[in-house]
Amino acid sequence: MFQKTDFWIGLGVGVIAGIFGYRFMQEREQQLAMMQQAAPAGELPLAELQRQKEELEDLIAAQQANQKK
């Protein structure tokens, strides 16, 4: 089992994916912590609200396009 190159390639890919996933989650947690510290209770920064608005508009447009099919 340990002599097959497929095993070592899979192990390497899994380790690299785990490292990138861990770093992504750490960065996301830091971003959320910064947003919570920056915004008073119940208020979000304008940039975050605009990002959410654009995301919702994209979802609405995609759903409308699917309904027309």
In 3D space, the residue among 37, 35, 17 whose CA is nearest the CA of residue 25 turns out to be 17
pLDDT band at 68 (very low <50, low <70, confident <90, very high): confident
CA distances from residue 38 to 3, 26, 48, 53 in whole angstroms, order as listed: 53, 18, 12, 20
CA distances from residue 11 to 2, 18, 20, 25 in whole angstroms, order as listed: 10, 10, 14, 21
Residue 42's pLDDT is 65
Domain boundaries, the chain: 1-38, 44-69
CA dist., res. 20 & res. 28, Å (int): 12
Residue 38's pLDDT is 66
5-55 tens-digit pLDDT: 888 899 999 999 999 999 999 999 998 888 777 656 567 778 888 999 999
